Chains A and B, each alone.
Chain A
Amino acid sequence: MNIIRSLTIISILTLLVVPLAHAEDDPLVRLTVKAKIKSNVHIEWEKLPDTDPRYIAFAKNRTTQSLKKNEKALLLPFALLVKLRTNDPTKIVKIHVENLKSGGGKHTIPVEKLSLSINGKPDQPFTEDIALLQQQEGNEFKELVLLFRLNTTIADKSGKYSANFSFITSDIP
């Protein structure tokens, strides 16, 4: 009786020990993977007319800036919608605007007279390039509505002026 019991126990133990499948002890093959991710900045922009609800909302809520004597503020009748994103916290994105030039190129209004409001925040004059994306701002999608204000004086000649703008990226200085 004891022998039968012992055999039964051994049989059960054997069933538990014998594997249905086995793997080789050593990893047979190892494939090394290398990924090189480059710095990337996404910049997308479009022009918003003064009838666009976003233009109207930010123009209405915009913080007004005091004017110098004989100065007249002119809010440009369009805005720029800029969409930014980067995977690189060391990147800075700035907007650069050149001097405004009249149609024939005869007259110039210095860019310092132009100021920028970002999402309705106080105007910043273009005494230097203005940062749209600061370093360490993270990788979140950033949408900005840019409104431009031009401070003119009686000395500025009338006419149709235009200016080129560009987005520039730079690393942490």
Chain B
Amino acid sequence: MKYKIFATIFIILGLLSRQPLAVAEDYGEWQEAARLSVTAVVAPYTSVKLSITEITFDIKGEPGNYDANQSVSITVGSNQAKWSVHAKANELIPESDKASPLPSSRLAFSINDENDFKDLGQSRLLIEGDAAKPPTAFTLNFRLTTGWEDLPGTYRGDIIFSFLSSP
């Protein structure tokens, strides 16, 4: 009776110990049962930041070239392959009906304290870069040229920064 019990246990253990070997033998023959598709969508990302939202010119003396009271720091970051930032000014509209607008070409800018001012009467290239370029801050200085024909008063306008990217 004991022999029968031992024989039964032995057979069961033998079967159990044999199972992993069979699995190991069949491993190289696995076939694909299902496929999980993974899609990662990296959306175009662009960030253009200005340190301030308004600049002011105080023209207290005779007509000429006047620098803005504040310089502006611009920081651009993008994952686009190639990109560029352009700027163009709109004319400055007087609050008074008697005065004429100041043409946008009277506004000019320079980058990083260089003395080479370019007028904003047309769209101007400010900065260009690519996806590998880390966001870097540039300093923009603005200048307004006034004339005797400009009546006293307050004038308002804006400068539009547009972003261009190559797909």
Contacts and interface: CB of A to CB of B under 8 A. Distances in A.
B29 interface: no
A34 B156 contact: yes
Q: For this complex, into which size category does the number of interface residues on chain A fall?
A: 20 to 34
A35 to B, nearest CB: 4
Interface in A17-40: 19-24, 27-40
A85 B149 CA distance: 10
A35 B59 contact: yes
A38 B54 contact: no
A88 B96 CA distance: 13
Contacts of B49: 29
A170 to B, nearest CB: 15
A95 to B, nearest CB: 21
B167 interface: yes
Interface stretch (B9-17, B129-137, B157-165): B157-165
Interface stretch (B18-26, B30-38, B60-68, B111-119): B60-68
B165 A22 contact: yes
Nearest to A40: B62
A29 B50 CA distance: 8
A88 B60 CA distance: 13
Interface in A26-74: 27-40, 42
B156 A33 contact: yes
A89 interface: yes
Contacts of A24: 46, 162-163, 165
B53 A139 contact: no
B152 A88 contact: yes
B62 A42 contact: yes
Nearest to B98: A89
Interface in B121-167: 142, 144, 146-167
Nearest to B84: A21
Contacts of B58: 36, 38
A162 interface: no
Top 5 A-B pairs, shortest CB-CB distance: A29-B161, A139-B148, A32-B54, A35-B57, A39-B152
Given A21-B167, A24-B162, A36-B56, 16 more contacts: A21-B164, A22-B165, A27-B162, A28-B46, A28-B161, A29-B49, A31-B52, A33-B107, A33-B142, A34-B56, A34-B154, A35-B59, A35-B154, A35-B155, A37-B59, A40-B60
Interface of A: 19-24, 27-40, 42, 85-89, 139
8 contacts: A22-B165, A30-B53, A31-B161, A33-B159, A34-B57, A36-B58, A85-B148, A87-B151
